[in-house]
């Protein structure tokens, strides 16, 4: 493990070493039919590095206990929980007392939606978008039906798979209370201009409520810079364990009603939305996940320095700059290869000069071949991709694909290589040509 020191000048320009990165992920050594498995299923859940696996096992072996007890393993559990809150806060630019943990982002969003809706009045409005995962749409439809609210839905631009921001602005009015929007599409990879969305919401006194799940493994998230009131994240998309967390602006978390058992001790604001015992082993894994990302931001082993506020965030800044640079090379090669395959349609941003506007997640259809059949053919060759709508229901409806099995989703992460891009492209070309 690399020493945890401040990043040195120029670290962001140090290219990731794919072989060194891949050596940290045991799953990547798996083979299918005698060939290395090619994990391009990251948008549905990333693989995890060795330190995360070790941290989860170590907690269960030696510290497994409930919290707030008068004995050593419980004290160790308390320390794990505190460390996880700090790690989650640094990952998304929040404070530890704003963090709420849960089983997953979807569960947390339903819970938070039911909390905030108690502060609204019949006729109040919520704006969602056609670019979103259903986890940031369905909760609002549910609470709106319960409380007599109005849900308005901002469309996407089909030509390039981007959010129609002008249409969203037109939907926001004096009764708008929440604008719920993704930071990046889990289907198309499109990155949203979140500060602009937040400004539109705040101009009428509404909350900017962001789903950061898809963007989190690709770009640095900073709740303050985004001017977000709520940001939701799923660590298992960011090389961590299966769990979710939300960063809720402190004053909001203090004010919203929270469902808690009796007797409930006074807790920091965000923690009020945690019901029951947390998955402590997952929290240990989350701490290790953020530690792994820190290592990417400090690639040269240097003498340790005294920690100071912001040191970990500085290392994460560098880590994500390096991740973005590596993934941009992957995305450029993928666009070059995919757009040259006869019979293959790429949905979403396809111009290489617009790579900054997207993640390396690609939505594809092959003429005459059902998405499931494409995924099965690739899977038989050890290339793992998703098919269907991936709960991006409105995206598939807008593209006219929902009634046809959706699409194929190919997603690259920082542990993928240019060789894997080419391997996937070659296989897709053969399928499109009827050779596989």
pLDDT computed for residue 302 by the predictor? 41
pLDDT computed for residue 260 by the predictor? 75
pLDDT computed for residue 263 by the predictor? 62
pLDDT computed for residue 265 by the predictor? 61
pLDDT computed for residue 11 by the predictor? 63
Give the 3-state secondary structure of residue 212. Answer: coil
- H/E element, 86: helix 72-92
Q: Where are the domains of the chain?
A: 61-287, 324-432
User: At a CB cut-off of 8 Å and minimum separation 6, what does 295 contact?
Assistant: 1, 2, 4, 319
Please give the Cα distance from 428 to 346 (Å, whole number): 12
Beta bridge partners of 127: 152, 179
Residues of the chain with pLDDT under 70: 1-12, 262-266, 299-309
pLDDT computed for residue 428 by the predictor? 98
Please give the Cα distance from 47 to 243 (Å, whole number): 14
* Answer CATH for 61-287 from 3.40.640.10, 3.30.2400.10, 3.40.50.2000, 3.40.50.150: 3.40.640.10
Predicted TM-score (pTM) of the model is 0.94
Edge-to-edge strand order for the sheet containing 230-233? Answer: 99-102, 244-248, 230-233, 207-211, 176-182, 125-129, 150-154
User: At a CB cut-off of 8 Å and minimum separation 6, what does 354 contact?
Assistant: none
Measured in whole angstroms, the distance separating CA 196 from the mean position of its chain's CA atoms is 20
- H/E element, 394: helix 393-399
Query: Residues for the chain: how many in total?
Result: 436
- Max CA-CA distance within the chain? 67
* Answer CATH for 324-432 from 3.90.1150.10, 3.40.50.9100, 3.10.180.10, 1.10.150.120: 3.90.1150.10
Please give the Cα distance from 11 to 341 (Å, whole number): 37
Assess contact for 239 and 47: CB atoms under 8 A.
Answer: yes
Provide the CB-side half-sphere exposure for 394 (13 A, CA): 23
Please give the Cα distance from 118 to 113 (Å, whole number): 9
């Amino acid at each position: 493990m690399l020493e945890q020191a401040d990043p040195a000048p120029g670290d962001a320009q140090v290219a990731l070493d794919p072989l060194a990165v891949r050596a940290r992920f045991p799953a990547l050594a798996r083979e299918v039919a005698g060939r290395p498995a090619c994990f391009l299923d990251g948008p549905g859940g990333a693989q995890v590095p060795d330190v995360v696996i070790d941290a989860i096992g170590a907690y269960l072996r030696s510290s497994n206990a409930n919290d707030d007890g008068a004995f050593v393993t419980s004290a160790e559990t308390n320390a794990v929980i505190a460390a996880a809150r700090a790690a989650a806060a640094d990952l998304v630019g929040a404070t530890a007392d704003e963090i709420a943990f849960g089983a997953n982002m979807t569960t947390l969003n339903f819970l938070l939606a039911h909390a905030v809706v108690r502060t609204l009045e019949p006729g109040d409005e919520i704006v969602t978008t056609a670019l979103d995962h259903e986890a940031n749409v369905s909760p609002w439809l549910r609470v709106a039906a319960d409380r007599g609210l109005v849900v308005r839905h901002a469309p996407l631009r089909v030509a390039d798979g981007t959010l129609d921001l002008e249409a969203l602005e037109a939907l926001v009015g004096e009764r708008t209370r929440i604008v719920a929007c993704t930071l990046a599409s889990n289907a198309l990879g499109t990155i949203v201009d979140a500060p602009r969305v937040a400004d539109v919401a705040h101009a009428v006194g509404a909350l900017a409520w962001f789903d950061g799940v898809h963007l989190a493994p690709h770009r640095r998230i900073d709740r303050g810079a985004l001017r977000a009131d709520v940001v939701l994240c799923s660590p298992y998309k960011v090389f961590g364990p299966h769990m979710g967390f939300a960063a809720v602006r402190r004053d909001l978390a203090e004010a919203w009603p929270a469902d808690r058992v009796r007797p409930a001790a006074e807790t920091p604001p965000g923690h009020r939305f945690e019901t029951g015992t947390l998955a402590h082993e997952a929290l240990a894994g989350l701490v290790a996940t953020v530690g792994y990302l820190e290592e990417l931001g400090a690639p040269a082993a240097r003498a340790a320095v005294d920690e100071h506020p912001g040191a970990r965030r500085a290392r994460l800044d560098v880590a994500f700059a390096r991740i973005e640079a590596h993934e941009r090379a992957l995305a450029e090669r993928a666009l070059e290869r995919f757009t040259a395959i006869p019979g293959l349609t790429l949905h979403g941003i396809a111009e290489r000069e617009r790579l900054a506007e997207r993640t390396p997640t690609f939505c594809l259809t092959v003429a005459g071949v059902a998405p499931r059949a494409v995924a099965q053919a690739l899977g038989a060759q050890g290339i793992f991709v998703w098919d269907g709508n991936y709960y991006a229901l409105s995206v598939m409806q807008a593209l006219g694909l929902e009634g046809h099995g959706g699409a194929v989703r190919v997603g690259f992460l920082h542990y993928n290589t240019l060789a894997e891009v080419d391997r996937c492209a070659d296989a897709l070309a053969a399928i499109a040509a009827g050779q596989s």
